[in-house]
Amino acid sequence: MDKLVIRGGRRLNGSVTASGSKNSSLPVIAATLLSGNGTFTLHRIPDLQDISTFTQLINHLGAETSFSDNTLTVSTGNVESLLTPYELVKKMRASIYVLGPLLARFGEAKVSLPGGCAFGPRPIDLHLMAMEKLGAKITIETGFITAKARNGKLQGATIDFPVSSVGATGNALMAAVLAEGKTTLSNAAAEPEIEALCRFLTAMGAHIKGTGTTELIVEGVTSLSAVEFTNVFDRIEAGTLLAAAAITGGTITVDGVENEQLKSVLKKLAHAGCTLTQAAGSITLASPEKLIPTDITAKPYPSFPTDMQAQWTALMTQAEGTSRITDKVYHERFNHIPELNRLGAHIEIKKNQAIVEGPRRLSGTKVMSTDLRASACLVLAGLVAEGVTEVLRVYHLDRGYEQIEMKLNTLGADITREKYKEFS
Ligand code: UD1
């Protein structure tokens, strides 16, 4: 296995470019299953483990793909298999994204049930509810979801999501674009990754009104075409890099971003005392002498993202006073806290809220990644810790951050990747 060995205490300075978003690439790649005509060319796709797993998944269904220099080409004309096996789904919950497109194009699909996840229960009931509303008959047996459209074709419907869900909105959208008639999605997720999916589907020939809002109205069409598409930047990666600069007291510029999508994070960074200079396509952060404690509550977009909550917790260990971290998307997403405390942080969890007492001098030791964003949080802590921090099980980080140590080293960090053997 790989670990990152971080020699902390170096200020980050300089410029880096944000990668393409992982979380928008996945539904966009899934959406290629909607059209059997031509070849898609998708630019700015990050070179990540999750993308390669998802590509393997659509290849298993019969798609033909090639990937080089962050451009993925996909042809789905020969897709025949409608069965998504457990071996691929267990690696990545987002595999459920194939359900909507397969059902819409072929009238049926069989997808293995995804398992649990490191930061609490992550049900798929809303995905299934949306498919049922669109006229699918769902059965769950032997660990598989089997979905069949009545009379072979999905029908437009009104779907009101009781909870805002990125995945269920994406799946419902991909199913609705080829359904007969009109579909209304209320309380839909308005995350930039869903907006990107709407733009992609629209370019393919779908009729969608309300892109970028929480009410999406889809008028079904009979066929969609392959297109060329450039993916959006990864707002979580960009936010993580800015937090990395702030925790080390540095000054960095992140290029290739759209500041509007970072608004909630920039607002909190400004509150914490950072100076932010925005320009078209870039953001510069200069750190303050002392970080001001700043509470956050993670909620659906445009509020502060849950995927930045762990990194924010690491940052607040260096602020002068008490900050409170609440996550209203995943109430139990606090696996990183015992590990931060092992580095010397003082964080307590009280009633689904993390209370961080800062500033604390962190000192390097071995810490264990438990999920993607928890890993990023530990890397941030390692950047400011005295001595050497070893972040183990780095495969979590590799699922979602493209060349992270290379990017941080370009900014002045001292991180090496080494192999190690884990004793069980
Ligand atoms: C996506 C992101 C993930 C991010 C999350 C929230 C991808 C690949 N992953 O995950 O990084 O942390 O959005 O921004 O894009 N829920 C249900 N029933 C469902 C589906 C979800 O109750 O059927 C609940 C979840 O438990 C959670 C909330 O809805 O509390 C939001 O989850 P959701 O937006 O669906 O997360 P994902 O799409 O899985």
**Above pLDDT 90, what percent of the chain?**
90
What is the Cα–Cα distance from 177 to 228, expressed in whole angstroms? 18
What is the Cα–Cα distance from 121 to 135, expressed in whole angstroms? 27
Decide: 55 and 92 in contact? Cβ < 8 Å. no
Residue 56 sits in the same domain as residue 201: yes
Q: Is residue 335 part of a domain?
A: yes
Provide DSSP, 237-265.
HHHHHHHHHHHHT-EEEEES--GGGGHHH
Pick the residue whose CA is nearest to atom 27 on ligand 1: 329
Q: What is the whole-number distance in angstroms between the Cα of residue 193 and the centre of ligand 1? A: 12
What is the Cα–Cα distance from 145 to 142, expressed in whole angstroms? 9
Neighbour-count burial for 361-390, b at 16+ CB within 10 Å, e otherwise: ebebeebbbbbbbbbbbbbbbbbbbeeebb
Q: Is residue 27 part of a domain?
A: yes
Decide: 242 and 206 in contact? Cβ < 8 Å. no
Residue where a domain stops, chosen among 230, 253, 282: 230
Q: What is the whole-number distance in angstroms between the Cα of residue 197 and the centre of ligand 1? A: 16
Residue 149 sits in the same domain as residue 70: yes
Neighbour-count burial for 398-423, b at 16+ CB within 10 Å, e otherwise: bbbbbebbebbeebbbebeeeeeeee
- Domain with 93, as residue range(s), is 22-230
Within 6 Å (CB) of ligand 1, which residues are found? Answer: 23, 26, 94, 122-127, 163, 165-168, 189, 193, 306-307, 329-330
Percent helix / strand / coil, the chain, rounded to 5: 35, 30, 35
**What DSSP character marks residue 94?**
G
Residue 277 sits in the same domain as residue 160: no
Residue 193 sits in the same domain as residue 245: no
Q: Which two tokens stand for residue 292?
A: 């001001």
* Contacts of 354 by beta carbon, 8 Å cutoff, 6+ apart: 313, 324, 325, 326, 334, 337, 347, 348
Is the model's pTM score more than 0.95?
yes
Residue 283 sits in the same domain as residue 191: no
Q: Is residue 424 part of a domain?
A: no
Q: Is residue 210 part of a domain?
A: yes
Q: Is residue 291 part of a domain?
A: yes
CB atoms within 10 A of CB 15: 12
Q: Is residue 282 part of a domain?
A: yes
Write 268-276 long-range contacts (CB < 8 A, 24+).
Answer: 268/294, 268/296, 268/304, 268/312, 269/242, 269/243, 272/246, 272/315, 272/319, 274/242, 274/246
Q: Is residue 397 part of a domain?
A: yes
Pick the residue whose CA is nearest to atom 32 on ligand 1: 165
What is the Cα–Cα distance from 403 to 420, expressed in whole angstroms? 19
Residue 121 CA: nearest ligand 1 atom is: 26
Q: What is the whole-number distance in angstroms between the Cα of residue 341 and the centre of ligand 1? A: 27
Q: Which of 164, 165, 169 to mutate to test the pocket of ligand 1 (most atoms within 8 A of CB)?
A: 165
Provide the angle, in degrees to the nearest 10, between the axes of the packed helices 192-204 and 22-31: 30
Residue 265 sits in the same domain as residue 296: yes
CA neighbours within 13 Å on the CB side: how many for 200? 31
Across the beta sheet with 136-141, the strand order is 83-84, 108-112, 144-149, 136-141
Q: Which of 111, 163, 197, 377 to mutate to test the pocket of ligand 1 (most atoms within 8 A of CB)?
A: 163
Per the annotation, the verdict on 117 as an active-site residue is: yes
Residue where a domain stops, chosen among 230, 251, 284: 230
List the CATH number of the domain containing 217. 3.65.10.10
Residue 222 sits in the same domain as residue 266: no
Residue where a domain stops, chosen among 211, 230, 249: 230
Question: What confidence tens digit (pLDDT) does each residue in 69-124 have?
Answer: 999 999 999 998 888 888 888 888 899 999 999 999 999 999 998 865 565 666 89
Question: What confidence tens digit (pLDDT) does each residue in 341-399 have?
Answer: 999 999 999 988 999 999 999 999 999 988 999 999 999 999 999 999 999 999 999 99
Number of domains in the chain: 2
Instruction: Name residue 233's amino acid.
Output: F
pLDDT score of 119: 57
Q: What is the dihedral of CA 378, 403, 262, 189, to 10 degrees?
A: -90
Residue 39 sits in the same domain as residue 98: yes
Residue 27 sits in the same domain as residue 70: yes
Residue 245 sits in the same domain as residue 374: yes
Backbone dihedral region for residue 210 (phi beyond 0: left; psi -120 to 50: alpha; all else: beta): left
What is the Cα–Cα distance from 74 to 177, expressed in whole angstroms? 19
Q: Is residue 387 part of a domain?
A: yes
Average pLDDT of the residues in 403-419: 97
pLDDT score of 252: 98
Question: What confidence tens digit (pLDDT) does each residue in 280-322 have?
Answer: 999 999 999 999 999 999 999 999 999 999 999 999 999 999 9
Residue 125 sits in the same domain as residue 35: yes
**What DSSP character marks residue 233?**
B
pLDDT score of 123: 87
Residue 89 sits in the same domain as residue 143: yes
Residue 189 CA: nearest ligand 1 atom is: 34
Instruction: Name residue 179's amino acid.
Output: A
